[in-house]
Homo-oligomer: A and B are copies of this chain.
Amino acid sequence: MDVRTLCLGILTFGDATGYEIKKAFQDRLGMFYDASYGSIYPALNKLTTDGLVSCRTKSQSKRPDKKIYSITLDGQLTFLKEMEGTPAPEKFKSETLATLMFAHLLPASHIAKVIDDLIESYQSNIEILSGECDMKQALTDRFLCGYGIAVKSAAIKYMQENRHLIEAEALLADHAAE
């Protein structure tokens, strides 16, 4: 599954411009899949060439022409076939947790700040997701929002209950450095 396939998926919900597709990635998929213009625009070009989407241009005065993409029948079939494959393993990248790996080399104050920031960002995620969760009527959206909330909540709880472990390591190093 690549950006191309997910662009097709987003277009099953209705026609959209590249700009709107980018927004859909952020708003609907952002939690577990993101894509940049640098991958979306080339993807749409390729999809158009392959006949999986069609594109009509709406000229606008004083703005770049709007290119509205629609999924074709061929595109729908390709999308469904693609989605029937086995999804790749999940990938998670956290510079914060990588930083904590080296807590014994860093100032305790920095470790504390990094953890504070992470907890705050999780809390902000949860607030946004809670708001969305209430608005959405579709079960799918609710399920996915709920997933995000459940996981982030568990992360916060663990961090708060166990941060002293890693902060102790950093403190030890601080004393050794003196």
Say whether A98 faces chain B, with CB atoms less than 8 Å apart.
Answer: yes
- A146–B154 Cα distance when bound, in Å, is 11
Whether the pair B143, A165 counts as a contact (CB closer than 8 A) is yes
Known: A34-B91, A93-B90. Is A147-B139 also a contact (CB below 8 A)? Answer: no
Closest chain B residue to A159, Cβ basis: B147
Whether the pair B140, A100 counts as a contact (CB closer than 8 A) is yes
Q: How many copies does the complex hold?
A: 2
Interface size classification for chain A: 35 or more
- Inter-chain contacts of A150 with B (CB < 8 A): 154-155, 157-158
Q: Would you give the 0/1 interface string for A83-99, flagging 1 where the beta carbon is closer than 8 Å to chain B?
A: 11011111111111111
Q: In whole Å, how far is A153's beta carbon from the nearest beta carbon of chain B?
A: 7
Whether the pair A166, B143 counts as a contact (CB closer than 8 A) is yes
Q: Could you give 20 example pairs across A and B, Cβ below 8 Å? A: A28-B101, A29-B98, A33-B94, A34-B91, A80-B106, A83-B106, A84-B106, A86-B114, A87-B94, A87-B99, A87-B114, A88-B95, A89-B121, A90-B96, A90-B121, A91-B92, A138-B169, A139-B166, A146-B158, A153-B154
